[in-house]
Structure 1
Amino acid sequence: MKWIMFIGLYLLVFVYAKAQNEPNSRTDNRLKTAIDSAVQRAVSHFMISGARAGLSIGIVTGDKHFFYNYGTTTKERDRLPDENTVYEIGSVSKTFTGYLLAKAITDRKLRLDDDVRIYLPGSYPHLEYMGKPIKIIHLVNHTSGLPPFLPDRPEIFKQSAESIPFLLDALYRNYTKEMFLADLGKVKLDTLPGYNYRYSNTAAQLLGFILENIYRQSYGQLLKRYLLNPLSMSQTETSGKALTGKLAKGYDAKGTPMPRIPAIMTASGGLYSSAADMARYISFQLKETDMSVKFSHTFTQQYTDSSGIGIFWRINTDLGGVRRIWHTGGTFGFSSYCVIFPEKRIGFVLLSNEFDMTSQGALIEAAETLFREIIGA
């Protein structure tokens, strides 16, 4: 009897331990191919956290697209996501804005070296420091000196972490482009533009408004005209309202449902997309046959011979000349990572409907694991 009890206890502990090292949720991964197994191993480290909700992965290798899904689109009921589930993609949105800028430059509508004030209505005398103006190039490599957000309310970020998303949601609920430009007129720089790195959502939002002024079209219209319609990205939008039936619900680390990203942040972090659409976007970026894509992958700021920033894209090159071109994204309730390796014709997108201080790093780790395993296969 004691042996039976011991064996039963051993099996219980074994099953529990195994559960702690496997994804804690449902999946459509059939575990039949080498890629299937590589995804499972990579995702295990991400999904093992009890905070995670859902995850959709898109993999592009050459002309082939693969999709894998884990978890749930909502914690209220168990519903596995698929490649058409829509997520907030956060700051990966900046790469879309970067493409539109690259398009405007190749169309000779503006230059990277231009003073941003050329393209703004009204007077902005404070958008310079010691006679040096903020230029378009400073907006895309985060050296403008502009604050992370407008309105500039640093006291909000001193509140409890749980309250910040809701305070920001209330602040931005009725915040307009006109209010943004009025606040921009009050900004006083404390450093020379082009020298110090300071991540700025304000800079990307400003660039979105500049593009609207140049083309005399809304940001959403520009996206559809130059990216979404040509690439058949029908599940990518500037507003979640158009995609309500496909939209996952976002959560924080405690499983609290989070508010949506404010509409004013569209150009800096407010786009919605699916793994299927992002795979199309990755394929377009990987080929680098489009002049604007190629230009957006060119350094605008270099830290070393092998690392820097293009037009919003982060760029790292290994000793073999293989480039890793990437961007992360995080909103109140979503985390994302998009990375391409043009020399290897491989790219990944990972979209999660949960955000915490470790989620973006865990997505990067999962993608790096996938890359090593697929290249080594």
Structure 2
Amino acid sequence: MNAWLISALLLFPSELIYPKRYTALVTLPIKASTDNPLKNSVDTIVEQAAQQFMTAPEAVGLSVGILKDGKTYVYNYGTVDKGKQQLPTAQTIYPIASISKTFTGALLAQAVVEKRVKLGDDIRKYLTGSYPNLEYNGQPIRLFHLLNHRSGLPFLLPDVPDAFANTAIPSSAIATELLQHYTRADFYDDLHKVKLDAMPGNMFKYSNAGAQLLGYILERVYNQSFEELVRLKLTQPLGMSDTKIELTPAEEADFAKGYNCDGLQMPPVPDQLQGAGSLKSTVADMLNYIQWNVAEETEAAKLTHRPTWGDVDRYSSGLNWQMLKASGYRAIWQDGNIPGYSSLCVNYPELKMGVVILSNECDRKTASRITTLVNQITKAMDERAVMLPN
């Protein structure tokens, strides 16, 4: 195992070390640097929640984007590089990890709208070769199963369950290590070896492999690369020019450096996961994406929010969106975590509100802290907002 991976697993020490001349040391919270102008009620709400988030010793940088009643707000805290005092901006680029899956879902929805595919199609219709193993008791894996995590496909291909046996090790870090030299040909070879142990659609089993496979399928449907499909079908129409997988040298300069809980910089994450977790974006771009999701004006946007599993009136899954409903109001969200980065995007269509959080630090507690941050902000902005589970 690489030294960087081992270091990524260490937890920040919780003990305080006091100077010998004091029996106790009382320190006042140090406010993180920010561009928050503190001129209106939204500014104040975000400042209180974000500064609380930034008091964690692991915190490095934070970008917050908010849509409310057609207006957008952007706030930045901390730094993009621990070696510099350099605030993030609305154009700072972060990996969005599993939020990428919602883009894959949007592409699938668009393919359905264009009558290129049907949600219920047997996935083998779009695969070359024979895959008798991708069914159980005569029931095949269908396209929508690849995004609601009920396909029965493993967490990752290559499928190495023993690699994830130690729960103290972040699964995202292990996945990164396994994918370092893994090719698409390797993926399809391993797909032939998959053995389903339940009927597709019946059992939850989180699967990056499913979303990755769907990305490959969409490439075959359109005869275009996944990244080009994202550009043509989503980011170009929505004005999201900084949302992509591969960055130019100039864009690399706007890329936030990611850190683990011990303050060590993480190396770049391989892009093999593609539609499962390889997109990068900015707060400015993600606010355009939130506007599209909150408005629900297109058939594709509506379809991505249509439940494919669960209780429509409580918790359900769409095309990789998780959805909660309470008192007639929906929260539609997805988070993302890879070594060095954590993110969360949530849409409230009935409240005309949405929030995106991008952070360049990731440990076992970051996702929970970001959820707490979002809940504090949204509840203060509108008490009807559905609280996300934490």
Same fold (TM over 0.5): yes
- CA shift, 1:32, in A, is 2.3
Distance of 2:169 and 2:151 partners within structure 1: 30
What is the one-letter code of the residue matched to 1:246?
Answer: D
| Selected match of 1:317 from 299, 320, 325 | 325
Q: How does 1:70-89 map to 2 (within 5 A)?
A: 70-89=77-96
Q: Counterpart in 2 of 1:69? A: 76
| Selected match of 1:272 from 280, 296, 303 | 280
Q: How does 1:253-264 map to 2 (within 5 A)?
A: 253-264=261-272
Distance of 1:241 and 1:271 partners within structure 2: 14
Stretches (4+) displaced over 6 A: 162-166
1:196-235, Cα deviation, whole Å (9 max, x unpaired): 0011101000000010010000001100101111111111
Distance of 1:330 and 1:294 partners within structure 2: 26
- CA shift, 1:174, in A, is 2.5
- TM-score, length-normalised on structure 2? 0.88
Q: Counterpart in 2 of 1:5? A: none
Q: Counterpart in 1 of 2:298? A: 290
> Cα gap change, 1:165/1:114 in structure 2, threshold over 3 Å: closer, same or farther?
closer
What is the one-letter code of the residue matched to 1:294?
Answer: K
What is the one-letter code of the residue matched to 1:264?
Answer: Q
- CA shift, 1:154, in A, is 2.1
- CA shift, 1:303, in A, is 3.9
- CA shift, 1:304, in A, is 6.1
Distance of 2:114 and 2:136 partners within structure 1: 30
Q: Is the 8 Å Cα contact of residues 80 and 86 (structure 2) preserved in structure 1?
A: yes
Q: Counterpart in 1 of 2:137? A: 130
Q: Counterpart in 2 of 1:307? A: 315
Q: Counterpart in 1 of 2:16? A: none
| Selected match of 2:379 from 356, 372, 377 | 372
- CA shift, 1:169, in A, is 3.8
- CA shift, 1:128, in A, is 1.1
Distance of 1:305 and 1:199 partners within structure 2: 23
> Cα gap change, 1:304/1:232 in structure 2, threshold over 3 Å: closer, same or farther?
closer
1:323-351, Cα deviation, whole Å (9 max, x unpaired): 10100110111000000101111100000
- CA shift, 1:155, in A, is 2.4
- CA shift, 1:83, in A, is 0.7
Q: Is the 8 Å Cα contact of residues 169 and 259 (structure 1) preserved in structure 2?
A: no
Structure 2, unpaired ranges of 5+: 1-21, 385-390
How much identity, in percent, do the aligned residues show? 41
Q: Is the 8 Å Cα contact of residues 156 and 175 (structure 2) preserved in structure 1?
A: no
Q: Is the 8 Å Cα contact of residues 313 and 326 (structure 2) preserved in structure 1?
A: no
Q: Is the 8 Å Cα contact of residues 308 and 316 (structure 1) preserved in structure 2?
A: yes
- CA shift, 1:161, in A, is 5.2
Q: Quick check: 1:215 aligned with 2:222?
A: yes
Q: Is the 8 Å Cα contact of residues 307 and 315 (structure 1) preserved in structure 2?
A: yes
Q: Counterpart in 1 of 2:181? A: 174
1:236-283, Cα deviation, whole Å (9 max, x unpaired): 111245520110011111111112222111200110000000011111
Higher-helix-fraction structure: 1
Give the total of aligned pairs: 360
- CA shift, 1:374, in A, is 1.3
- Mean Cα displacement is larger for which, 58-67 or 200-209? 58-67
> Cα gap change, 1:201/1:77 in structure 2, threshold over 3 Å: closer, same or farther?
same
Distance of 1:171 and 1:338 partners within structure 2: 27
- CA shift, 1:26, in A, is 1.1
| Selected match of 2:366 from 351, 356, 359 | 359
> Cα gap change, 1:163/1:359 in structure 2, threshold over 3 Å: closer, same or farther?
closer
What is the one-letter code of the residue matched to 2:153?
Answer: L
Q: Quick check: 1:342 aligned with 2:349?
A: yes
Q: Counterpart in 2 of 1:33? A: 40
Q: How does 1:133-144 map to 2 (within 5 A)?
A: 133-144=140-151
- CA shift, 1:179, in A, is 1.4
What is the one-letter code of the residue matched to 1:200?
Answer: S
- CA shift, 1:158, in A, is 3.6
3-state secondary structure, aligned to 2:150: coil
> Cα gap change, 1:316/1:159 in structure 2, threshold over 3 Å: closer, same or farther?
closer
3-state secondary structure, aligned to 2:53: helix
Q: Counterpart in 2 of 1:249? A: 257
